[in-house]
Amino acid sequence: MLIVMLYIKNILTLLYNIFLLKIYKLNLVTRMSNYSKYIWFNGKFTDFKNAKIHVLSHCIHYGSAVFEGIKCYNTDKGPAIFKLKEHMERLHESANAFKINIPFDANTLCNAAIELVRKNEVKDCYLRPIAYYGFDTLGVHPKKCPVEVAIATLDWGAYVSKEALIKGAKITISPWRKYKSNAFPSSTKAAGPYLNSMLAVQDAKSRGFDEALLLNEDDSIAEGSGQNIFLIKNNIFYTNDQSSNILLGITRSTLFQLIKDLGYNYEIKSLSQDDLFSADEIFYCGSASEVTPIRQIDNHIVGDGKSGKITLNLQEKYYNIVRGKEEKYYKWLSFIN
């Protein structure tokens, strides 16, 4: 009798855990679908659950997709998308590098993104446009595979972490090296090459770090798994260029202007590990990462082990601009209403 009762108890526990798992998945899907009730899909708005592709699509097997990461911020004038046109133009540039002929021009995609934010009734969000080869052939050559395009809104939050934005991130130099520009065009955002970044950030997280830093084959500094890097030494900003196999980030180019506006200078050059470890301040930047201070690299403490004061000033300037608090920079914002 006792054995039977234990058996029944185990069965009930198993069923209960399965029930909880289903509820968790349902809540996750519901939360995501509520944030992106509609997805712009090949020129039309479709329900979240109906935005699907075939399992034999070329992009699934070979990573033949290009994408963008764009932020929309709530402002006193309502939601506004930051540097929308620049992102959609870069999406086309990335697509052209891989001969992916996007059937919608940049202006059409910009209008679609604005209408999507409005239709989904979101204020702060992350937008993910993506263009990819769909299903026609499983050969590596895409031949007549159709190019499909989608845009979704996501509730992403702080990319590294909220704590890192304030106190600074702990990063590690990755054992994985950055691929060379003669292997993939590095200044494009393409799905396949991001496996390099995935390996780096998986390794970093598994060892207790917030993010990874990739080096080039010559041991020079490349970039983070999804961020550009800046160093500050004696009040001068330093960052690297395309010869270091980096993405020429839109946030990176934005910061060049803000650095000047704050009264500082910057230099673009190849960055060595000596430059890295002798810097007074270090930070990552990107559309998702925004301006994220770095306080530690492996066992090396950056500066006094806290977020740098100049970095935080730049971060505050950046947040004021993207949240519409400085009219001078309205040209960078696409207001929804």
Name residue 297's beta-bridge partners: 171, 300
Three-class SS of 246-309: CCCCHHHHHHHHHHHHCCCEEEECCCCHHHHHHCCEEEEEECCCEEEEEEEECCEECCCCCCCH
Q: Hey, what CATH topology would domain 38-154 get?
A: D-amino Acid Aminotransferase; Chain A, domain 1 (3.30.470)
pLDDT in tens, 315-331: 999 999 999 999 999 99
Mean pLDDT for the chain overall: 91
Q: Closest Cα to residue 290, out of 198, 157, 130, 92?
A: 157
- Which CATH homologous superfamily contains domain 162-322? D-amino Acid Aminotransferase, subunit A, domain 2 (3.20.10.10)
Q: Where are the domains of the chain?
A: 38-154, 162-322
pLDDT of 82 strictly over 80: yes
Q: If you count them, how many residues does the chain have?
A: 337
* Rounded distance between C-alpha atoms, residue 197 and residue 232, angstroms: 25
Catalytic annotation, pick one of 99, 189, 205, 317? 189
pLDDT of 224 strictly over 80: yes
pTM to 2 decimal places = 0.88
| Whether 189 is catalytic | yes
CB 87 within 8 A of CB 333: no
Phi and psi for 25 in degrees, rounded to 5? -65, -40
pLDDT in tens, 5-60: 555 555 555 554 554 445 444 454 445 555 689 999 999 999 999 999 999 999 99
Joined tokens for residue 184: 């993939």
Mean pLDDT calculated for residue range 200-224:
97
